[in-house]
Chain A
């Protein structure tokens, strides 16, 4: 670090050259990301675990239901009646069970992933 002095100052300080500062920024920012990746704090998709394995619904906690999951996967994991689910949210009967949850809002105005989670909790309590 450049320590050139310039003028009287209220308190001691070291001059930082622009290039040193630029290097510091890049090392701090990208270095932290690199360390996070080594530590396993890195995943760019909700479909994969940090280890790269596909995420599977456990059926234990509705909070793990995500918009990219399909009707089929939810029905299978939570053991709910598909017809009851369609009826509860007004999903057209011709909608394939492989449809992603996030696409259902366009065909069923009552549907949202949050509402589905709440309904799954209710079903589990029955």
Chain B
């Protein structure tokens, strides 16, 4: 048996990074979903003596923030825990950008699982796989047909719908301040999900069903087009010094990063990912075959940029 230890190559580094970090992310997501299921189950069994899972929703904190700041009171169905969770989301976002969405949000996790189930089905049913490939190509920003033809219909629709979550956020903030109650609660897919075990159906149940069905075709459809908490995080995330950066000179333009992005960001054409919808899941970083081409970085003014190693042939 040889005892020679060869130097670690970029490829080795990718092999090490890919499973470990994404597995860690999925474990964190699984832990959060497990906690929510535990709380909801306990509430179902013990009734009003146990905390409702709604008490652990950070968006409830945003909805009650105005009432709490102006009157020292939380609105119905919200508690101090909602405010504390919203504060935790705000701190995490201002420092670490969209990490809550990519690493913690249970509704995002459920959509990821739904899309993974869809991919599993596509591998087993070839006609379905071919149809979904065509849809992905239509939505993928990398498949733009050039300046003469412009973006595809799918890209236009995707882009137009991406403003939907800001409209939803504006409606909720305006309605909550005007009426002093949670105008979104009956339409909230997360609230509906928590009520499923109690067999309570609402408009939110229909929104949840549509979101999950859409997630079979477009990854994280609710996050992309309608999530008001995601919209809030996007706006707050602009303050974050953390961002993903791509190095043009080291990039082979294979497009894997763009393909893997669950939010449909054209990572392969950007120098720095400042897109408001980035959830910092780091799939683009983990999937890149050239680790020196893309990284998560902390921008610090005053630090002198350093030179890169020249790309090696054969990569």
Contacts and interface: CB of A to CB of B under 8 A. Distances in A.
Interface of A: 1, 5-19, 21-22, 24-26, 28-30, 32-33, 36-37, 41-47, 50, 63-64, 66-68, 113-114
A30 B88 contact: yes
Contacts of A10: 271-272, 305
A44 B83 CA distance: 10
A66 B48 CA distance: 14
A31 B250 CA distance: 37
Interface string B114-147: 0000000000000000000000000000000000
Tier of interface size on chain B: 35 or more
B104 A29 contact: yes
9 contacts: A10-B272, A13-B305, A15-B297, A26-B28, A29-B92, A41-B80, A41-B83, A44-B56, A64-B73
A33 B181 contact: no
Given A33-B84, A37-B84, A44 B104 contact: no
A24 B295 contact: no
Nearest to A15: B295
Contacts of B28: 22, 25-26
Contacts of B74: 46
Interface in B75-97: 76, 79-81, 83-85, 87-89, 91-92, 95-96
Nearest to A46: B79
A103 to B, nearest CB: 12
Contacts of B309: 6
Nearest to A36: B84
Most buried by A among B249, B301, B303: B303
Nearest to B104: A29
B81 A7 contact: no
Contact of B91 (A9, A14, A15, A32): A32
A12 B304 CA distance: 5
Interface string B230-265: 000000000000100101011000000000000000
The 9 A-B residue pairs with the shortest CB-CB distance, nearest first, are: A12-B303, A7-B308, A36-B84, A5-B306, A44-B51, A7-B247, A32-B88, A18-B21, A13-B297
Contact of A12 (B17, B285, B305): B305
A37 B282 CA distance: 31
A7 B55 contact: no
B266 interface: no
B250 A7 contact: yes
B302 interface: yes
B298 A13 contact: yes
Interface string B20-47: 1100110010000000000000000000
A28 B88 contact: yes
Given A13-B245, A18-B24, A29-B91, 7 more contacts: A12-B303, A19-B24, A21-B96, A28-B95, A28-B96, A42-B84, A44-B52
Given A29-B104, A63-B73, A7 B292 contact: yes
B70 to A, nearest CB: 12
A39 to B, nearest CB: 9
Nearest to B94: A28
Contacts of A33: 84-85, 88
Contacts of B104: 25, 29
B216 interface: no
B103 A9 contact: no
Nearest to A100: B48
B222 interface: no
Contacts of A28: 88, 91-92, 95-96
